[in-house]
Amino acid sequence: MPLEQIKSTAEFIKKQVSISPEIGIILGTGLGGLVKEIEVLHTIPYEKIPNMPLSTVEGHSGKLIFGILGGKKVVAMQGRFHYYEGYEMQQVIFPVRVMKYLGIKKLFLSNASGGVNPDFEVGDLMIITDHINLMPNPLIGKNEQELGERFPDMSEAYDKAIIEKAKQIAKQHNIKIQQGVYVALTGPTLETPAEYKYMRIIGGDTVGMSTAPEVIAGHHMGIPCFAMSIITDVGVEGRIIKVSLADILRAAEKAEPKMTLIMKELIKSL
């Protein structure tokens, strides 16, 4: 979307809120509970924000929340946008662009994903150390130099220093933590057994339908990114069962308190 739209949307939001957020948070399927830990100062529904797409997915609320978490000023997306909803990639990453102009210095993301690593179990948390993006790249099209360079380096898309802090926090609280590579697909179908097998062969540990485009956009703008997955189903040969959205939401909600604790303590430690 044009830079002018990004800036005008950010200016509109600035007039509605009393804080300049330092941290942006994108909450995925069934993970909106972190909002309960935020001292909420302002809530703006997406439909009230100019140029903002509307979330159509069950489990995604569709609000921008401003407040204090762990002593830090934050803006949280309660509900994200997915390519499979019919949006263009520029719309999917639009909120990340806007958050940059609201002042964020770091971006935290979460998602629900399917595990293709045989060592993973439903309910595990995984820190994303890298991704394989099999969706259209959100940077295709005219590059705005003000946002970032034409050919951004992606050798450290996920900030290593933040990852190390997160691992330390998990250890302190005796929370089992996995780490690995997230494969991003368009969806909306869940994967076939052959596709799960392929994701593992190419180096994936989990598979999902979000996160990578937002991280690409954040990294393009020089924002350190940190992301975690809740393993809500397993796509390992011999262990594959039929899965519904209700199953995914239940698994995400069960594991949510652990992720909430890590995210809150991590933000507090920065």
**Average pLDDT across the chain, whole number:** 94
pLDDT tens, position by position, 134-161: 999 999 999 999 999 999 999 999 999 9
pLDDT for 75 equals: 98
Q: Residue 59: pLDDT band by 50, 70, 90 thresholds? A: low
Phi, psi at 267, each rounded to 5°: -65, -40
Band the pLDDT of 60: cuts 50, 70, 90.
low
- The one-letter code for the residue type at 255 is A
Mean pLDDT of 162-185: 98
**What is the C-alpha separation between 26 and 169, in angstroms, rounded?**
20
Please write down the HEC assignment for all residues of the chain: CCHHHHHHHHHHHHHHCCCCCCEEEEECCCCHHHHHHCEEEEEEEHHHCCCCCCCCCCCCCCEEEEEEECCEEEEEEECCCCHHHCCCHHHHCHHHHHHHHHCCCEEEEEEEEEECCCCCCCCCEEEEEEEEECCCCCCCCCCCCCCCCCCCCCCCCCCHHHHHHHHHHHHHCCCCEEEEEEEECCCCCCCCHHHHHHHHHCCCCEEECCCHHHHHHHHHCCCCEEEEEEEEEECCCCCCCCCCHHHHHHHHHHHHHHHHHHHHHHHHHC
Higher pLDDT, 253 or 220: 220
CA 26 to each of CA 11, 200, 222, 238: distance values in angstroms, whole numbers, following the listed order = 20, 26, 17, 33
